Amino acid sequence: MKFKVNGTEVFASTGGRPFDKNKPLIIFVHGSGLTHMTWVLQTRYFAFHGYTVLALDMPGHGLSKGESLKSIEEMADWVSNVIDSVGYKEASLVGHSQGCLVTMECAARNPNKIKTLSLMGGAGAIPMNSELLSLAENNDPKAVDLMMDWAHGPAGHFGGHPVPGLYHINTGGMLAKSRTIKNTLGVDFRACDNYKNGFEAAKKIKIPTLSILATGDKMCPVKEGKKLADLIDGSKVEIIDNCGHMMLLEEADRVLKVLKNFILSNYPAKLN
Amino acid sequence: MTDKKNKGTDPKTYKFDTLSLHAGYQPHKNAGSRQVPIYQTTSYLFDDVDHAAALFNLERGGHIYSRISNPTVAVLEERVASLEGGTAALATSSGMSAIFLTIMTLCEAGDHLVVSSQLYGGTVNLFRLTLPKFGIKCTFVKPRDTEGFKKAIQKNTKGIFGELVGNPGNELMNMPEISKIAHDAGIPLIVDATYQTPYLCKPFEHGADIVVHSLTKWMAGHGSSMAGILVEGGKFDWMQNDKFPTMTTPYEGYHGLSFAEEFGPTAFTMKARAEGMRDFGPCLSPQNAWNVLQGIETLSVRMKKHCSNAEEMVKYLLGHESVAWVSHPSVPDHPDHELAKKLLPNGRGSMIAFGIKGGKDAGVAFINNVKLASHLANVGDTRTLVIHPASGTHSQMDEATLKFAGLSHDMIRLSVGIEDIDDIKNDFEVGFRAARKPRLVSNQ
Ligand SMILES: Cc1ncc(COP(=O)(O)O)c(C=O)c1O
């Protein structure tokens, strides 16, 4: 679905069901340089089970217009504006990687608006490898290739996509190459590197929070994820073994199962 | 994301030879079986009603029924996608069904395609005679006529189709240039790369958007199994224009799904499977998928030998008194010699066409007298194969079509195998000897 936020056209997948204001809203926020498509194996489930879903393309990413936002704080305010723009007063947020920083900052800034927070492959800070950052800012496709290498666990490197016939590394790579790398990945990596408020934001969060971490995650290791979770009151941690940073695709079913249990019990849809 | 483990900038994703053995398969999810198991199965249990609905709605990945997908076939699909550098693949019961499914996923009645004139005979028939029955028309253009491809594009053209090295005339199409023409017109380039395999050429690196293969040939190598596949590059933007409404708008044929919005770089394969495989049903058997996987394990080893034997045969034929001409992109005066160097750096393939002195009768005598080389309607076997197209594969063509397809009566098509090169040459000597006295031999 296309709609406007601050006057600029935005695209969000509604998970294959019509946008329906009578259902609770879940917003999915993708990671650096990626798009709404990373969420396809979670969003459709919720859309078919009583929720209104918006898997966003961040400005300048995927099918959204405008320029990429330059800081995590701006992105957090933008997500909050999305909720207003579609006429909602509240929402549940789900983030992956950079999307965790964004949703966490958004939840800290909007304590009454955000009802639950689910973080996948999140950490309090994501300092960037300087080489990777400079490759991305210089528009070098090698930045994407390196990211795909580090983002997939040992099993994901062989394949075994939950959707028959799809190959992880090339699908992810093509998503990240769908727009000009320096304008998406380059800007995003810089924003992650600059963001220092993660641990402070975490301390302010008082809503039900779930962290899904993966044992083979080289980008946001379990240890870092746990450090963050420890700062969030009563937050729940789920660990997915044999899986890398792209857990939402590599182990889509296991991730969906824990996400489903968490959201259904903390932000239930009224089934009619 | 810390620096510690990064010892340099090269990604450590697996490379070609490793992928050809491992891609698409995780032993720990298959009872630890090192070799890919054959799931000789048709249907897969649902956990509950909700799980069943989720699979049908494409909410979750997984197998439902082996016409749509099968665990063994899926390994083959991922393996070929990985080798081609593609995002996704869909395996089919034959190369022809891969081509048919590709066209049926792309086109509707009233659409048009621009097609290279030098294609496998069966593909020519599909485009020339069969697709028009479904309201899909084609304009044929000679592979070297790059401008001709541009001129042939109409408002309703939905794609350009060709074989990189035309069969059997060995003419190359300028894939990088022709892909630009296709992309300027907002349509995809589809390449049949059967003769190259990803070992010799990865068409996605040269602008192709969809690759099709007859896996029956070099990919399998053993000549035991029919199989085909379509592979998606993932770069083509289906939403750039309104030419592909069944990809880009809520599609009645699949619960109002917009494939391009939902699946982006894998949209074409998702649609080919969800609609094409569901409704036409040319699925690959698990046994044949497994057979092809055995071949792919040794793809690069075999292709090296195919190519070195082919180059030896080219030298031998060029120096032979009974040979009028030799066509292979490795021959320096081949018109596409330079382009072939660029597009086929690992070898120019193992298909050779040559003219035998003495014309059609000599050709027939040669074919009838070789013993090691097999006379049959296939290419890309590990064994050396020969055929005389004018009387074999292309015999359904009239004189004019034959000429347009770049064929002549003295032409012999040779698919060089991986036998000992001396044995192939010795066998050819027997054939040539017979060809020099055709009448005598054919009377025996
Ligand atoms: C280049 C090419 N494409 C497609 C095909 C058709 O493949 P299959 O025989 O597997 O249906 C062939 C078969 O000879 C071929 O040579």
CA distance A62 to chain B (A): 9
Would A151 be classed as within a structural domain? no
Location of structure tokens 């997500």: A79
Rounded Cα–Cα distance for residues B191 and B213 (Å): 9
Kindly determine whether residue B1 and residue A150, on different chains, have CB atoms separated by under 8 Å: yes
* Residue in chain A nearest B6 by alpha carbon: A129
Q: Whose CA is nearest to atom 6 of ligand 1?
A: B95
Looking from the CA of residue B194, the nearest atom of ligand 1 is 1
Query: Residue A59 pLDDT more than 50?
Result: yes
- Cβ-based neighbour number of residue B432 at 10 Å: 22
> Which residues have a Cβ under 8 Å from the Cβ of B75 and sit 6 or more positions away?
A159, B24, B25, B36, B289, B293
Handedness of CA B6, B10, B13, B18 (dihedral sign): negative
**Which spans in chain A are helix H?**
40-47, 72-85, 98-109, 130-137, 142-151, 154-158, 168-176, 185-194, 198-204, 222-231, 247-250, 252-266
HSE of B409 in the Cβ direction (CA atoms, 13 Å)?
A: 9
Torsion of CA A141, A143, A144, A146, to 10 degrees: 130
CA distance B390 to chain A (A): 39
pLDDT of the residue at A97: 97
Would A138 be classed as within a structural domain? no
Within an 8 Å CB–CB cutoff, is residue A100 touching chain B?
A: no
HSE of B353 in the Cβ direction (CA atoms, 13 Å)?
A: 19
Rounded Cα–Cα distance for residues B410 and A174 (Å): 47
Q: Let me know: does B286 contact B73? Beta carbons within 8 Å.
A: yes
Kindly determine whether residue B11 and residue A149, on different chains, have CB atoms separated by under 8 Å: yes
Within an 8 Å CB–CB cutoff, is residue A1 touching chain B?
A: no
| B71 contacts in chain A (CB < 8 Å) | 164
B197 in ligand 1 pocket by Cβ < 6 Å? no
Query: To test the ligand 1 pocket, which listed residue (B126, B217, B394) has its Cβ within 8 A of the most ligand atoms?
Result: B217
Query: To test the ligand 1 pocket, which listed residue (B102, B216, B291, B415) has its Cβ within 8 A of the most ligand atoms?
Result: B216
Location of structure tokens 């995590």: A72
A232: domain range?
2-125+195-266
CA distance B80 to chain A (A): 9
Mutate to test the interface with B, among A130, A148, A166 (most CBs of B within 10 A): A166
pLDDT tens digits for chain B (444 residues)? Answer: 444 444 567 999 999 999 999 999 999 999 999 999 999 999 999 999 999 999 998 999 999 999 999 999 999 999 999 999 999 999 999 999 999 999 999 999 999 999 999 999 899 999 999 999 999 999 999 999 999 999 999 999 999 999 999 877 789 999 999 999 999 999 999 999 999 999 999 999 999 999 999 999 999 999 999 999 999 999 999 999 999 999 999 888 777 889 999 999 999 999 999 999 999 999 999 999 999 999 999 999 999 999 999 999 999 999 999 999 999 999 999 999 999 999 999 999 999 999 999 988 899 999 999 999 999 989 999 999 999 887 776 667 776 777 766 788 899 999 999 999 999 999 999 999 999 985 554 444
Q: List the one residue out of B436, B434, B433, B391 whose CA is nearest residue B413.
A: B391
Helix, strand, or coil here: A231? helix
Closest Cβ–Cβ partner in B22, B53, B89 for A165: B89
CA distance B48 to chain A (A): 14
Would A157 be classed as within a structural domain? no
> Which residues have a Cβ under 8 Å from the Cβ of A217 and sit 6 or more positions away?
A121, A153, A225, A243, A244, A245, A247
Rounded Cα–Cα distance for residues B87 and A169 (Å): 8
pLDDT of the residue at A45: 95
Would A262 be classed as within a structural domain? yes
Within an 8 Å CB–CB cutoff, is residue A87 touching chain B?
A: no
Q: Let me know: does B226 contact B288? Beta carbons within 8 Å.
A: yes
What are the phi and psi torsion angles at B114 (to 5°)?
A: -105, 125
Helices (H) and strands (E) in chain B, counts: 19, 12
Write out pLDDT tens, residues A243-254. Answer: 999 999 999 999
Burial class (CB in 10 A: 0-12, 13-18, 19+), B110: exposed
Query: To test the ligand 1 pocket, which listed residue (B196, B214, B226, B378) has its Cβ within 8 A of the most ligand atoms?
Result: B214
Would A190 be classed as within a structural domain? no
Location of structure tokens 């259904």: A264
- CATH number assigned to the domain comprising residue A6: 3.40.50.1820
Helix, strand, or coil here: B328? coil
Across B117-167, the runs of DSSP E, i.e. the strands, are: 137-141, 157-163
| Residues facing residue B415 across a β-bridge | B351, B385
Location of structure tokens 């903390």: A266
| B28 contacts in chain A (CB < 8 Å) | 155, 242
B92 in ligand 1 pocket by Cβ < 6 Å? no
Would A145 be classed as within a structural domain? no
Write out pLDDT tens, residues A78-113. Answer: 999 999 999 999 999 999 999 999 999 999 999 999
Residue A70 tokens, joined: 């330059």
Query: Residue A73 pLDDT more than 50?
Result: yes
Q: Let me know: does B85 contact B204? Beta carbons within 8 Å.
A: yes
- Cβ-based neighbour number of residue B44 at 10 Å: 15
Burial class (CB in 10 A: 0-12, 13-18, 19+), A113: middle
Give the Å distance between the CA of B96 and the centre of ligand 1: 6
Q: Residue B124 carries which side chain, given as an amino acid letter?
A: V
Q: Whose CA is nearest to atom 10 of ligand 1?
A: B95
pLDDT of the residue at B444: 43
Total domains in chain A come to 1
Closest Cβ–Cβ partner in B3, B24, B262 for A16: B262
Once rounded to an integer, what is the mean pLDDT over residues A14-37? 96
ipTM: 0.96
Once rounded to an integer, what is the mean pLDDT over residues A211-224? 96
Report A:163-192 residues touching B (Cβ under 8 A): 163-167, 169-171, 174-175, 177-178
pLDDT of the residue at B390: 76
* Residue in chain B nearest A122 by alpha carbon: B1
pLDDT of the residue at B6: 47
Would A148 be classed as within a structural domain? no
pLDDT of the residue at A271: 57
Q: Let me know: does B162 contact B138? Beta carbons within 8 Å.
A: no
pLDDT of the residue at B406: 72
Q: List the one residue out of A121, A125, A124 whose CA is nearest residue A243.
A: A121
Would A188 be classed as within a structural domain? no
Name the percent of chain A lying above pLDDT 90: 98
B352 in ligand 1 pocket by Cβ < 6 Å? no
| A41 contacts in chain B (CB < 8 Å) | 59-61
Q: What is the side-by-side order of every strand in the sheet holding A2-5?
A: A2-5, A8-13, A52-56, A25-29, A91-96, A114-120, A209-214, A236-240
Q: What is the DSSP string of A251-270?
A: THHHHHHHHHHHHHHHS---
Q: Let me know: does B402 contact B394? Beta carbons within 8 Å.
A: yes
Within an 8 Å CB–CB cutoff, is residue A30 touching chain B?
A: no
Q: List the one residue out of B273, B237, B231 whose CA is nearest residue B254.
A: B273
Angle at which helix B299-318 crosses helix B421-436, to 10 degrees, equals 40
* Residue in chain A nearest B229 by alpha carbon: A165
Q: What rounded mean pLDDT belongs to chain A? A: 96
Rounded Cα–Cα distance for residues B215 and B193 (Å): 10
Once rounded to an integer, what is the mean pLDDT over residues A9-29? 96
Q: What is the DSSP string of A87-135?
A: T-S-EEEEEETHHHHHHHHHHHH-TTTEEEEEEES--S--PPPHHHHHH
Structural domains of chain B in order of their starting residue, each with its CATH number: 16-295 (3.40.640.10), 299-442 (3.90.1150.10)
DSSP secondary-structure letter at B249?
A: S
